[in-house]
Amino acid sequence: MKITHAFRFEAAHWLPHVPPTHRCRNMHGHTYRAEVTLSGKVRDDGMVADFYELEAAMMPVLAQLDHATLNEVMENPTAENIAAWIAERLALPQLASVRVYENPDCWAEWERER
């Protein structure tokens, strides 16, 4: 069974490793959506995990990202690197994936290796 909780944050960034003519080389912002998925057996209480506990684990992570310049948080803030950065900071043994959307049509997804 899997459960997913979605979170939103606002942040600015630029991509330092793209060519100088690439539009994302310039500072710009996104309304990001991060989806955190946990996977496991359903417990006796009927849940894989408590959504409240997942939210509590994510709040300190979001505090570092929301209304931040992501280049000050990580060296190369691509959607892929943001998803991995979030996953590294969540101490959740049931963490299955982190999906980060830069817009409704583009996302990157980190998945736990099996």
What pLDDT is stored for residue 5 in this prediction?
98
Encoded tokens for 112 = 């736990």
- CATH number, span 2-111: 3.30.479.10
Examine the residue annotation and report whether 30 is marked as an active-site residue of this protein: no
Catalytic residue selected from 24, 35, 80, 109: 24
Report phi then psi at 39, rounded to 5: -135, 140
DSSP run (H or E) holding 109: strand 106-111
- Give the pLDDT confidence of 53-90 residue by residue, as tens digits: 999 999 999 999 999 999 999 999 999 999 999 999 99
Q: Judging by beta carbons within 10 Å of its beta carbon (0-12, 13-18, 19+), is residue 6 exposed, middle or buried?
A: exposed
The model's confidence at residue 113, banded by pLDDT at 50, 70 and 90, is: confident
Examine the residue annotation and report whether 10 is marked as an active-site residue of this protein: no
CA separation for the pair 34, 46 (Å, rounded): 25
**For residues 32 and 83, is the Cβ–Cβ distance under 8 A?**
no
* pTM of the predicted protein model: 0.95
114: pLDDT strictly greater than 90: no
CA separation for the pair 7, 21 (Å, rounded): 32
Catalytic residue selected from 67, 72, 88, 106: 67
Examine the residue annotation and report whether 113 is marked as an active-site residue of this protein: no
